[in-house]
Amino acid sequence: MRRYVYPLLTALALIAAWWLAVRYTHTKIFPSPLDVVRGLGKLAEKKLLWAYIGDSLFRALTGYLIAVLLGVPTGIALGWWSALARATNPLIQMLRPISPLAWMPLAVIWFGVSNVAPIFLIFLASFFPVVLATMNGVRNVPPMYLQAGRNFGLTTPRLLTRVVLPAILPATLVGLRIAFGVAWLVLVAAEMIAVDSGLGYLIIDARNAGKRYDLVVGGMLLIGTIGLLLDWLIRRTEKLPMVKWGFRE
Amino acid sequence: MKKLITFTIVWLTVITVAHMTLNVNWAVLLNDRLPESKRKLNVAYIPVTCHLACPVTDYISAYSESGQIFVPRMFQGFPEIKEALMANKMQAAFMVAPMAVALKAQGVPVKIVYLGHRYGSAVVVQKKGPVHKFSDLRGKTVAIPSRFSDERLILFKAAKDNGVDMKDVHLVEMAPPDVAGALAAGAIDGFSMGEPFPSQTEMYGYGRVLFHARQYWPDYMSCVLVVREDIIDKRPDAVQVLVDGVARSGLWLEDGNRRRAHREHAADFVGRYYYRQDPRLLRWALLNPADRVMYEPLSPRKKDFELVVSLMRETGVLDHYIPFEDYVDTRFAEGSMGQTAWRYEAGATKAW
């Protein structure tokens, strides 16, 4: 009970502070909480809201899943074969700080005006955290496990699947959680480039439409809320038996 | 520990000094410190020939006795200009006409005082592409600068004349500087934009003008000069000086037989110092042919704007009629009627 009451009280306090700030500064631009609710309500009436949420989730999840499917094996390979890691490390460290948003112009040129461009950007955002977390997980597998596995006569492929993979699950999960956060964060900017649906598009579109800052703030709040829900879902997976052992309560 | 602190202090000092000498625009900073009645107006523009009068006025007026009239500031897209105008960081701006009308209709206190130029927009498609007449645009993706732009309205007007339903054409909003690259890469099939982007695609050989705006809209005008209402009320003299300067620049760019020479010089200094675009590109846009872009007549006329408003209503970007007098203030255009072109030639040290 206490777990939900305290955060709820904080949220209510913030909303009250927001409303008071709008009243007292007589701002003509920044929306009040009521304006935001009304704006989103009208959008829901036009059936656009759920379409936008659905499109955003689709793009984010697709980009994210591709990043995971490619990132985990890459991370394992880099963690296992240190020569490979040494060879590619400078390249990874160089590409990693380049914000996905900097890839935006190229994404439009390569993939045109379609869903692929934002998915590509989200993939880029999620890829490196997954790779690095997995790589570190592999490096930190206690040598004891590997020796025990060898003693039992396991070949390298079987060693990887039966010993390493289960051992790195907690570390990988942390990477997955971070990667999803980044993916969802990049979503807004990724949807700026010439798509015409989605929560990021909602914000940019509201801005382009003149004075619809109620939808801008509404879009931001929606993105934040959905991000919170998805993060909560990922945290629930930390309770699964196959990873639970890796996390302290 | 002492070394760390010393190093931090030295590093911060070095960066601060470097920033102050290299980056800070002292003209703008000091201008904002002046008392309100003495402050120069901040005028926003984006790097299109539609807004050329802005940098031209700034450059030439710097050589004149009274000095620079206003503080120009370049933006990359219209939403940013709109926000800066609403927040009073910019007091005046060049922007597309329907956006100015829409802002006023949404309650933002601005008024149109002058035009940017006439003509100068075109619909461009890929040179080797399949589009040869307007009806070929069915099912294609066309970029526009903003849903509130005459570049979008001209598409609807042309569609009506060609029997095409615009629902069959996919429109996307893109910042003007991005469209040339997007067309070259095949990311979009065409765009409707102002100069110099159509010229850019022609010059580099990957674009073909499908039609110029004047073909379907004889008195086409795209961008207008917008000023905040509170500035108009508090400092009408400063606004008149601004409009006079812009009017004189327009006349200078159309100055009889000096027109070609003036435009070439303008292409040079605007491209190098303001727009950071290749001067050859601006020269192409301004001279190829010489009436591709016209800088007169620039007074806002009721007929032109009534057409814009009716097109906006037809195409669904304006939900109620708004009378001409609500969003246009013609006093300043009328007040600048007697102005003459700047007297300034390339290489001169004075202008008047």
Residue B111 has a pLDDT of 93
Say whether residue B142 is in contact with chain A using an 8 A CB cutoff.
Answer: no
Residue A194 has a pLDDT of 61
The more confidently predicted of residues A44 and B224 is B224
What total number of domains does chain B contain?
A: 2
* Cβ within 8 Å of residue A220, ≥6 positions away: A203
Same domain, B48 and B171: no
CA-nearest residue to B187 within chain A is A112
**From the first residue on, what is the mean pLDDT of each consecutive set of 10 residues in chain A (249 residues)?**
84 91 84 88 84 90 94 92 91 89 84 85 92 92 88 85 87 90 84 79 81 86 89 84 73
Say whether residue A109 is in contact with chain B using an 8 A CB cutoff.
Answer: yes
* Residue boundaries of the structural domains of chain A: 33-244
Whether residue B78 has pLDDT greater than 80: yes
Phi-psi group of B199: left, alpha or beta (phi > 0 → left; psi -120 to 50 → alpha; rest → beta): alpha
Question: In B, residues 68-107, which contact A (CB 8 Å cutoff)?
Answer: 78-79, 82-83, 86-87, 99, 102-103, 106-107
Both tokens assigned to B6: 């010393």
CATH of the domain at B155: 3.40.190.10
Question: In A, residues 12-51, which contact B (CB 8 Å cutoff)?
Answer: 28-29
Task: Give buried/exposed letters for B149-181 (b at 16+ CB in 10 A, else e).
Answer: bbbbbbbbbbbeeeebebeebbbbbbbbbbbbb
Residue A158 has a pLDDT of 84
Same domain, B74 and B153: no
Determine the structural domain holding residue B161 and report its residue range.
121-215
Cβ(A180)–Cβ(A189) below 8 Å:
no
Contact list in A for residue B146 (CB cut-off 8 A) is 208
Q: Is residue B228 part of a domain?
A: yes
Residue in this structure with the two tokens 């709820």, named with its chain if needed: A8
Same domain, B329 and B234: yes
Q: What are phi and psi of B112, to 5 degrees?
A: -80, 135
Same domain, B76 and B112: yes
Q: What is the mean pLDDT of residues B68-95?
A: 88
By the 10 Å C-beta count (0-12 exposed, 13-18 middle, 19+ buried), A182 is classed as buried
Q: Do A207 and B178 touch (CB under 8 A)?
A: no
Q: Is residue B135 part of a domain?
A: yes
Residue A238 has a pLDDT of 80
Pairwise CA distance, residues B245 & B61, whole Å: 8
Say whether residue A210 is in contact with chain B using an 8 A CB cutoff.
Answer: yes
Which 3-state string (H, E, C) describes B64-130?
Answer: CCCCCCCEEEECCCHHHHHHHHHCCCCCEEEEEHHHHHHHHHCCCCEEEEEECCEECEEEEEECCCC
Same domain, B193 and B131: yes
Alpha helix segments (H runs only) across chain A: 2-25, 33-45, 48-80, 82-95, 104-111, 116-139, 143-151, 156-159, 165-190, 199-208, 213-237, 241-244
Pairwise CA distance, residues B337 & B111, whole Å: 19
Model confidence at B29, pLDDT cuts 50, 70, 90, reads: confident
Report the top-level CATH class of A33-244. Answer: mainly alpha
Contact list in B for residue A111 (CB cut-off 8 A) is 187
Same domain, B209 and B153: yes
Whether residue B12 has pLDDT greater than 90: yes
Say whether residue B141 is in contact with chain A using an 8 A CB cutoff.
Answer: yes
Same domain, B257 and B164: no
Whether residue B4 has pLDDT greater than 90: yes
CB atoms within 10 A of CB B17: 10
Residue in this structure with the two tokens 């009627």, named with its chain if needed: B337
Residue B261 has a pLDDT of 87
Name the β-bridge partners of B72: B43
Domain boundary among B156, B184, B215: B215
A85-94, A167-176, B49-58, B343-352: which range is least confident on average? B343-352
Domain boundary among B192, B215, B238: B215
Among candidate residues B167, B324, B160, B341, the one with its CA nearest the CA of residue B247: B341
Same domain, B234 and B329: yes
Say whether residue A106 is in contact with chain B using an 8 A CB cutoff.
Answer: no
By Cβ distance, the residue of A109, A113, A194 closest to B181 is A109
Amino acid identity, residue B226? V
Inter-CA distances, B156 with A199, A240, B50, B166, B263, Å = 28, 58, 21, 7, 32
CB atoms within 10 A of CB A204: 20
Q: Do B186 and A196 touch (CB under 8 A)?
A: no
Task: Give buried/exposed letters for B131-148 (b at 16+ CB in 10 A, else e).
Answer: beebebbeebbbbbbbbb
Q: Do A112 and B185 touch (CB under 8 A)?
A: yes
Pairwise CA distance, residues B201 & B210, whole Å: 12
CA-nearest residue to A207 within chain B is B79
Q: What's the gap between Cα B219 and its chain centre?
A: 17
* Cβ within 8 Å of residue B242, ≥6 positions away: B41, B43, B69, B70, B92, B225, B227, B332
Cβ(A54)–Cβ(A202) below 8 Å:
no
Q: Is residue B6 part of a domain?
A: no
Contact list in B for residue A210 (CB cut-off 8 A) is 82, 99, 102-103, 106, 108, 148
Pairwise CA distance, residues B214 & B221, whole Å: 9
By Cβ distance, the residue of A109, A210, A211 closest to B187 is A109
Q: What is the mean pLDDT of residues B45-72?
A: 87
Model confidence at B125, pLDDT cuts 50, 70, 90, reads: very high
Give the number of beta-carbon pairs within 8 Å between A and B. 55
Q: Is residue B340 part of a domain?
A: no
> End-to-end distance of chain B based on CA atoms, in angstroms?
62
By Cβ distance, the residue of B78, B172, B185 closest to A109 is B185
* Cβ within 8 Å of residue B64, ≥6 positions away: B342, B350, B351, B352
What angle is formed at CA B83 by the lines to CA B217 and CA A210, rounded to 5 degrees? 55
Residue A249 has a pLDDT of 59
Query: For residue range B174-213, what is the model confidence (pLDDT) as tens digits?
Result: 878 788 888 888 888 999 998 889 999 998 888 999 999 8
DSSP state of B87: T
Same domain, B240 and B324: yes
Average pLDDT, chain B: 88
By Cβ distance, the residue of A113, A207, A209 closest to B172 is A113
Say whether residue A111 is in contact with chain B using an 8 A CB cutoff.
Answer: yes
- Smallest CA–CA distance, residue A202 to chain B, in Å, is 13
